[in-house]
């Protein structure tokens, strides 16, 4: 059991699958009633929609977006958002709401650049698909074929894990593997090298969401292409689609004049306190873009890789990414729908029986995004916001998709997503909310705890005495945490950051030869051995 369970976007993605393959066929043909079989003769039974979409219903859904978006903005108080809709091969709606930065009067528009967070996985998967179509790599290529230094804990998995396995989160790596190293300041190469030390779940039958698993696969693809990942993405996808405001580098985001920095809720007010630099996991979470640019990508996606009469991605290489590759959420009851994950895409079945693909993105330091595409209706929506995740993009997308399918909103999506995202703001730790013991056992003399403690995964940790107290220093950039005595050989310290909401408390439990840090013990890797201990 993990002492600090990490919030997996897979939970939200599975919900999105219930809320909301990819062959482009005239939607008018799909929606004719089955009493006219000659008009559906070209469709396979699994392509026929269970609920028809009447003429004008999608237009009516688009017409309601202004009100729905403004209502969410007013209700939540987030600084800003941007929304775009693609239908019948065109961007039919693109608009901004609110402001780029709290306290400013600079409005969000359809060209405002946001950090996409994990929406990057889907866009990055189309970069991989382009390379698959070009014959540079295959989804089924073993990663070590292109990244020979890559290894996991079990030799069989190391030899057989493929680009597709990592993009489907079915390698067996633990949930969010490597994110803790990124928070400590390790770079991409160092993190990928340490993944071999983590315990594995059963290969190809276990779904655990891993940013650095996807990053390893993308690195293998970039190496096969002889290019940096950001450069490759720019050359084979962003430039062909005319996505001039899109980049896979954090520096490009910070250089944009029309950008929306991330905001966190502090004492009831949204403030731009810290901007997340996701470069080390860029293929999984590092893209920044505008809704106008994302709309071009969605246009290509709905057209099976075609854009403005040109093939950008071969349909045969793209389709596997949009197809179920692993069960991400098993049905809880016989009458409920399950959730699936493709290669970088969430894949689901709507209440109307139509398939959908999509992905959410979230940074606790201030970004929340989502797109949802319904191929059978040839429609897709993207919503980008500049605030920590509380479910706003997911709610708007789900409301819109309800309107597309049924002409009405059928669920309390705001309540459902607010509950799903609540874990983002919850502080972690077994002592959160507990009062210190009134009569704690005394600590040993502090010099009994000082020294260097080794850990093969996290690297060394140093315990020093400073002004009559203990302090922990850890990681390549030397992050320091003051320790507070709790009881006996147990001390505590506060952790903050992308994966540690405000109020997170970790224990540091000492034994004569080691110390275990609760926060870093999620995968049983949090025990550090004292140097010189026998």
Of the candidate ranges 234-248, 253-267, 370-384, 418-432, the one whose mean pLDDT is the lowest:
418-432
pLDDT of residue 425: 80
How far apart, in whole angstroms, are the C-alpha atoms of residue 90 and residue 501? Answer: 40
- Pairing relationship of beta strands 451-454 and 379-385 according to DSSP bridges: unpaired
Q: Which residue has the higher pLDDT, 294 or 28?
A: 294
The string of pLDDT tens digits covering residues 336-355 is 999 999 999 999 999 999 99
How far apart, in whole angstroms, are the C-alpha atoms of residue 301 and residue 310? Answer: 13
pLDDT at 31 over 70: no
Q: Which residue has the higher pLDDT, 371 or 425?
A: 371
pLDDT at 534 over 80: no
Q: pLDDT confidence of 49, banded at 50, 70, 90?
A: confident
CA angle 126, 27, 302 (to 5 degrees): 10
pLDDT of residue 81: 98
pLDDT at 34 over 60: no
How far apart, in whole angstroms, are the C-alpha atoms of residue 419 and residue 356? Answer: 22
The string of pLDDT tens digits covering residues 438-464 is 999 999 999 999 999 999 999 999 999
Give the pLDDT mean for 24-53: 56
Share of the chain above pLDDT 70, in %: 92
- 456-462 long-range contacts, CB within 8 A, separation 24+: 456/194, 456/197, 457/181, 457/194, 457/197, 457/198, 457/525, 458/180, 458/181, 458/184, 458/520, 458/525, 458/526, 458/528, 459/184, 459/186, 460/528, 461/515, 461/517, 461/528
pLDDT of residue 6: 43
Distance of CA 131 to the CA centre of its chain: 22
Of the candidate ranges 94-98, 170-174, 266-270, 388-392, the one whose mean pLDDT is the lowest:
266-270
Of the candidate ranges 6-20, 57-71, 120-134, the one whose mean pLDDT is the lowest:
6-20
pLDDT at 316 over 50: yes
pLDDT of residue 46: 87
Do 316 and 107 form a contact (C-beta atoms < 8 A)?
no
pLDDT of residue 502: 87
Q: pLDDT confidence of 25, banded at 50, 70, 90?
A: very low
Buried b (16+ CB within 10 A) or exposed e, 27-64: beebbbeeeeeeebeebeeebbbeebbeeebbeebbee
Give the pLDDT mean for 393-397: 98
Contacts for 161 with CB less than 8 Å, ≥ 6 apart: 142, 143, 152, 171, 203
Give the pLDDT mean for 213-229: 98
pLDDT of residue 15: 58
Q: pLDDT confidence of 41, banded at 50, 70, 90?
A: low
How far apart, in whole angstroms, are the C-alpha atoms of residue 238 and residue 255? Answer: 18
Give the pLDDT mean for 159-184: 97
Do 262 and 367 form a contact (C-beta atoms < 8 A)?
yes
pLDDT at 401 over 80: yes
Kindly provide the residue ranges of all beta strands, DSSP E only, lying in 364-513, ordered along the sequence: 367-374, 379-385, 451-454, 461-466, 469-474, 479-487, 490-497, 500-511
pLDDT at 29 over 90: no
pLDDT at 190 over 80: yes
Give the pLDDT mean for 228-254: 98
* Exposed / middle / buried, residue 426 (Cβ in 10 Å: 0-12, 13-18, 19+): exposed
Do 429 and 519 form a contact (C-beta atoms < 8 A)?
yes
Share of the chain above pLDDT 90, in %: 85
Q: Which helix (H) or strand (E) holds 28?
A: helix 27-30
pLDDT at 476 over 60: yes
Q: What is the overall mean pLDDT for the chain? A: 92
Give the pLDDT mean for 371-376: 97
Q: pLDDT confidence of 371, banded at 50, 70, 90?
A: very high
pLDDT of residue 148: 98
Give the pLDDT mean for 32-56: 69
Q: Which residue has the higher pLDDT, 355 or 7?
A: 355
Domains and CATH numbers, the chain: 9-32+39-307+324-330+337-424 (3.40.710.10), 446-530 (2.40.128.600)
Of the candidate ranges 30-34, 138-142, 233-237, 357-361, the one whose mean pLDDT is the lowest:
30-34
């Amino acid at each position: 059991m993990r002492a600090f369970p990490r919030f997996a976007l897979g939970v939200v993605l599975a919900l999105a699958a219930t809320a909301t393959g990819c062959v482009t066929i005239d939607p008018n043909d799909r929606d004719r009633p089955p009493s006219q079989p000659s008009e559906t003769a070209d469709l396979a039974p699994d392509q026929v929609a269970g609920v028809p979409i009447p003429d004008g219903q999608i237009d009516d859904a688009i017409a309601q977006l202004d009100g729905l978006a403004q209502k969410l903005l007013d209700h939540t108080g987030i600084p800003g958002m941007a929304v775009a809709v693609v239908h019948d091969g065109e961007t039919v709606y693109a608009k901004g709401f609110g402001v780029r930065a709290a306290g400013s009067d600079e409005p969000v528009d359809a060209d405002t650049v946001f950090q996409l967070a994990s929406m990057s996985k889907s866009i990055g998967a189309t970069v991989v698909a382009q390379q698959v179509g070009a014959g540079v790599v295959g989804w089924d290529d073993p990663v070590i074929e292109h990244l020979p230094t890559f290894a996991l804990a079990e030799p069989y998995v190391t030899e057989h894990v493929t680009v597709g396995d990592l993009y489907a989160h079915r390698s067996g790596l633990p949930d969010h593997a490597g994110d803790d190293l990124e928070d400590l300041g390790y770079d991409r190469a160092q993190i990928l090298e340490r993944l071999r030390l983590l315990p594995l779940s059963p290969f190809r039958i276990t779904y655990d969401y891993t940013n650095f698993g996807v990053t390893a696969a993308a690195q293998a693809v970039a190496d096969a292409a002889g290019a940096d990942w950001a450069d490759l993405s720019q050359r084979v996808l962003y430039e062909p689609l005319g996505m001039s405001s899109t980049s896979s580098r954090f520096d490009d985001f910070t250089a944009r004049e029309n950008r929306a920095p991330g905001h966190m809720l502090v004492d009831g007010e949204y403030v731009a306190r810290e901007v997340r630099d996701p470069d080390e996991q860029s293929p999984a979470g590092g893209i920044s873009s505008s809704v106008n640019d994302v709309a071009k990508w969605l246009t290509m996606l709905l057209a099976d890789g075609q854009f403005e009469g040109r093939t950008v991605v071969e349909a045969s290489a793209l389709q596997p990414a949009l197809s179920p590759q692993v069960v991400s959420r098993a049905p809880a009851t016989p009458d409920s729908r399950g959730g699936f994950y493709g290669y970088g895409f969430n894949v689901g079945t709507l209440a109307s029986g139509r398939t959908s693909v999509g992905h959410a993105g979230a940074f606790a330091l201030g970004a929340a995004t989502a797109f949802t595409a319904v191929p059978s209706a040839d429609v897709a929506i993207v919503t980008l916001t500049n605030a920590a995740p509380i479910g706003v993009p997911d709610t708007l997308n789900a409301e819109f998709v309800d309107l597309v399918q049924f002409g009405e909103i059928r669920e309390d999506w705001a309540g459902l997503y607010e509950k799903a995202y609540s874990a983002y703001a919850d502080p972690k730790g077994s002592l959160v909310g507990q009062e210190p013991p009134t009569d704690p056992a005394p600590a040993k003399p502090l010099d009994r705890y000082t020294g260097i403690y080794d850990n093969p995964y996290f690297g060394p940790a140093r315990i020093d005495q400073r002004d009559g107290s203990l302090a922990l220093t850890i990681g390549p950039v030397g992050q320091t945490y003051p320790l507070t005595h709790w009881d006996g050989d147990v001390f505590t310290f506060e952790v903050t950051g992308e994966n540690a909401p405000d109020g997170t408390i970790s224990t540091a439990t000492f034994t004569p030869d080691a110390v275990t840090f609760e926060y870093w013990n999620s995968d049983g890797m949090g025990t550090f051995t004292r140097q010189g201990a026998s």
